[in-house]
Amino acid sequence: MSDFFRGRRLRRTGTLREMVRETFVRPKDLIMPYFVVDTPDQNMKKPIASMPGQYQLSLDMLEETVARAVDMGLRSCLLFGIPAMKNETGSEAWAEHGIVQRAIQRLKSRFSRLVVTTDVCLCEYTSHGHCGILDPAGQVRNDATLEILAKTALSHAQAGADIVGPSDMMDGRVQAIRATLDENGFQHIPVMSYAVKYSSAFYGPFREAAESAPQFGNRKTYQMDPANGRESMREAMADIAEGADMLIVKPAGHYLDVLHELRQRCDLPLAAYQVSGEYAMIKAAGANGWIDERAIALETLLGIKRAGADLIITYFTEELLEAGVLA
């Protein structure tokens, strides 16, 4: 008998390896983000330079794109709207016939089983690009913003959204949204909160895609400091106490410690958001032939699941479904 561990015994054949495999990325685990633009144009599919393979879509093209993805096994999408008009309060965010509201209606009327999730935030809708309304000194007003976020979430639910996902990082927004949904007969609509959202340079490409870069300053007074791990648990526990049904950790790849710890500390379903910068870096190295892009994409998603995510929001969803490489 040998006196050392023979780990290779269970790696000898593909079938053996499959039998002892612990983690899987399945189609039902993935949520695909889409950017839908309020435009009179039909047939618009405008490439996003920093996110190869991702597009700003007109409503008709969104429907067509989602139709293909649903055929390939897409279960859920996350919608971001780019309004025709921005103002100080971001009023297009909760407009009855706003772009996201119309997109929800359109998708739900055709794909009733698709889980349509929405990003509830104001930065794409405000002229200043911040995630809330401002006081005269240019600071984001927390409590005054809550009301607007709640109105926005309600308008998404009224349009038929299955899940609302607040990403603004105002304190108390889960409670405000939950209360407004409940008062209006939407007790059954879950809140998936971006509980742990860092102030990250990895969002750079997204801000081009969503035309949502802040016009002055940055988001450090509301999004978290990337240096803080313990604080993420306080943010998560606060959102649970306020009634969140699911939590998001964002970004994903460089925050696996946070995801792992949160998995130990709470029983809610957890989602991780592999954000635009994470996607862009893999795409860029892949385009240069420096890495095997698909293998790396799959490996990053496996890592995120292994760390504790139940769901992953990723721009790779469509192409991995199409490639048929998911378990």
Pairing of strands 45-47, 55-57: antiparallel
Residue nearest to ligand PBG (CB): 206
Element (H, E) at 46: strand 45-47
Stretch that binds ligand PBG, among 156-164, 201-209, 233-241, 252-260 (CB under 6 A): 201-209
Which one, 67 or 207, has the nearer CB to ligand PBG? 207
The verdict on 275 binding ligand PBG (CB under 6 A) reads: yes
* HEC-encoded secondary structure of 63-117: HHHHHHHHHCCCCEEEEEEECCCCECCCHHHHCCCCHHHHHHHHHHHHCCCCEEE
The verdict on 180 binding ligand PBG (CB under 6 A) reads: no
Stretch that binds ligand PBG, among 100-108, 116-124, 228-236, 260-268 (CB under 6 A): 116-124
Strand partners, 198: 224
Which one, 12 or 78, has the nearer CB to ligand PBG? 78
We find the least distance from the C-beta atom of residue 132 to ligand PBG, in angstroms, to be 10
The verdict on 276 binding ligand PBG (CB under 6 A) reads: yes
The verdict on 79 binding ligand PBG (CB under 6 A) reads: no
Q: Quick one: which of 198, 203, 222, 255 contacts ligand PBG (CB under 6 A)?
A: 203
The verdict on 131 binding ligand PBG (CB under 6 A) reads: yes
Stretch that binds ligand PBG, among 6-14, 200-208, 241-249, 282-290 (CB under 6 A): 200-208
Strand partners, 272: 249, 312
Within 10 angstroms of residue 31's Cβ, the number of other Cβ atoms is 23
Residues 6+ apart with CB under 8 A from 97: none
Region 212-231 residues binding ligand PBG, contact defined as CB under 6 A: 219
The verdict on 92 binding ligand PBG (CB under 6 A) reads: no
294 three-class SS: helix
Q: Quick one: which of 29, 38, 119, 162 contacts ligand PBG (CB under 6 A)?
A: 119
The verdict on 121 binding ligand PBG (CB under 6 A) reads: yes
We find the least distance from the C-beta atom of residue 4 to ligand PBG, in angstroms, to be 45
Task: Give the contact letters, 150-179, x = binds to ligand PBG (CB under 6 A), - = no.
Answer: -----------------x------------
CA distance 131 to 146: 11
Dihedral angle over CA of 164, 165, 170, 175, nearest 10: 40
Which one, 167 or 300, has the nearer CB to ligand PBG? 167
CA distance 200 to 225: 8
User: What values do phi and psi take at 136, rounded to 5?
Assistant: -60, -25
Please report how many Cα atoms fall inside a 13 Å half-sphere around the Cα of residue 320, on the Cβ side.
Answer: 28
Residues making contact with ligand PBG (CB under 6 A)? 119, 121, 123, 131, 167, 203, 206-207, 219, 275-276
